[in-house]
Structure 1
Amino acid sequence: MKINSTVILTLILLTLMLGAGSVSAFLGFSMGSSALKGVTSPDGRPASKFASNKNNNAQSTEVALLKEEDILKTVKGRIQDNKTANQINKREEDEEEIKAQKPEPEEKPEEVTAEKLDPGFPVVAESEGVTMSVQSVRYSGGDLLLKVKMQNKSADSVRFLYSFLDVTDDKDRTLSAITEGLPAELPGKSTTFTGTISIPTALLDDVSNISLALTDYPAQKLKLQLSDIPVEK
């Protein structure tokens, strides 16, 4: 009885072991199949491989051929464009050459017209090479305007302070005056400068002529005296 129980136990153990091995083998096969899904074996045929490479190379090196007419049109168009550009450049160069060769019009010297002076003018005074003259007088806007010209013919420059300008009427009364445009300094060998001396007309109701006196500053070496300047209306 004891022997029979041992045999039975052994058979049971063998059965369990076989079952466990079968289950493990089945699970391993299933897992391997799942892992190899989508994996294919390489193509070992050389002919098919070379054919595939040839097709790929033919597709990559395929060149689109242009029509001969299109090529000729393109070349003619570029030649025409270059010809037109050259013609334009040549025309511009010719125009510039013509302009360069064209003589410039001669500048005509300005005509010097003699200034028309009223009777009794100009009234001129000169001292030490410096000249002062009254060219004309006119009434405008409540003032008497004297047109004055000054020039220095000497080699030395001369300075003036016009607050020292002495203006008197024919009755020896001092008149107020304002200068405009007259130079504060006359350089040596100068050109002619023109300015204005204005006197209020209210001071000239019964005046027929006036006098001007001016000296340089600060040396006071010269004296310009202009007398009997007619100012009657």
Structure 2
Amino acid sequence: MRINSTVLLTLVLLFLMLGAGSVSAFLGFTFGSSALKGVTTPDGRPTSKFASSKTNPQSGAVAFLKEEDILKVVKSRIDGKTKAAKSDETNEDDEDINGKKQKPEEKPPQVVEEKLQPGFPVAAENEGVTLSVQSARYSGGDLLLKVKMQNKGADSVRFLYSFLDVTDDKGRTLSASTEGLPADLPANGPAFTGTVSIPTALLDDVKKISLALTDYPDQKLKLEVSNIPVGR
């Protein structure tokens, strides 16, 4: 009796396990089917891919050009650039020709003689050495005398311009400075031009001035230029 009860209990447990497994399997299938509704598997067949590419031309497939078409395009572009370059060269040549035709002939510059002020030049000469005042003008608070010196004698002459005496028409001595005048005048040399500057403040009511210069160090040669008009 004990054996029969054991077998019976075993069978009951087996049936319960089978029933529970069946129920769980059914529930799992039901839930899985409901969760996979609307989900489809991808089409992995190669034939279907080729068919879809043929039916859909806008799918992004690369279209290859023929070699003949590429060569034609390149040749046409080269011909176009060559024609454009030739036309540019032709235009440049035409511009050069027109420029040469329109360019007037250059004339040699004309030598304009310096227009002298009334009463100028005022000059003095001694033993072939000449001292002349070419013009007088006021600028920047100074009276500027344009002076020209030349030595046509046989011997060179040296000057020290700190010995230059400047006096007005009332006999007063005026301070002056020189610029551009040479220290040595060579024999039979060219003319040299410089400037003698006198402060304007010293020339109130002065109409004329005089310059006196001697050579250095012998002081044998004396140049005196008198009555230089400086009135304003």
- What is the match of residue 20 of structure 2? 20
Q: TM-score, normalised by structure 2?
A: 0.54
State whether residues 151 and 185 of structure 2, in contact with CA within 8 Å, keep that contact through their aligned partners in structure 1.
Answer: yes
2:130 maps to a residue whose letter is: T
Query: In the alignment, what sits opposite 2:177?
Result: 179
Change (3 A) 1:24 1:195: same
Displacement of 1:155 after TM fit? 11
Show the counterpart of 1:212. 212
CA deviation string 1:191-228 (max 9, x = no partner): 431424548456979xx984502435xxx367652337
Identity between Structure 1 and Structure 2 (%): 43
- Give the residue type in structure 1 aligned to 2:98: I
TM-score normalised to the size of structure 1?
A: 0.54
How far is 1:36 from its partner? 5.8
Give the residue type in structure 2 aligned to 1:55. Answer: T
- For the 8 Å contact 1:149–1:193, the answer to whether it is kept is yes
Q: Which residue of 1 aligns with 2:162?
A: 163
Is the 1:147–1:197 Cα contact (8 Å) retained in structure 2?
Answer: no
Per the alignment, do residues 139 and 50 of structure 1 end up closer, same or farther by CA in structure 2, a change over 3 Å counting?
A: closer
The aligned runs of 1:89-128 (5 Å cut-off) are: 90=90, 93-100=93-100, 102-112=103-113, 115=116, 118=119, 122-126=122-126
State the match for 1:54 in structure 2. Answer: 54
Q: Tell me how far apart the structure 2 counterparts of residues 169 and 9 of structure 1 sit (CA, whole Å).
A: 159
Q: How has the CA–CA distance of structure 1 residues 145 and 23 changed in structure 2, closer, same or farther, with 3 Å as cutoff?
A: closer
Residue identity opposite 1:110 in structure 2? V
For residues 125 and 136 of structure 1, the distance between their equivalents in structure 2, rounded to whole angstroms, comes to: 18
Q: Any residues of structure 2 matched to 1:120-139 within 5 Å, and which?
A: 122-126=122-126, 130-135=129-134
Contact 2:149 2:193 in 1 (8 A): yes
> Could you tell me how far apart the structure 2 residues matched to 1:50 and 1:143 are?
104
Where do 1:10-89 residues align within 5 Å?
10-30=10-30, 33=33, 38-40=39-41, 42=43, 51-57=51-57, 86=87
Q: Give yes or no for contact 2:146–2:193 (8 Å, CA) kept in 1.
A: no
Does 1:227 pair with 2:228?
Answer: no
Q: For structure 1, list consecutive stretches of 5 or more residues without a partner in the other structure.
A: 63-78
Q: 1:147 to 1:50 in 2, by over 3 A?
A: closer
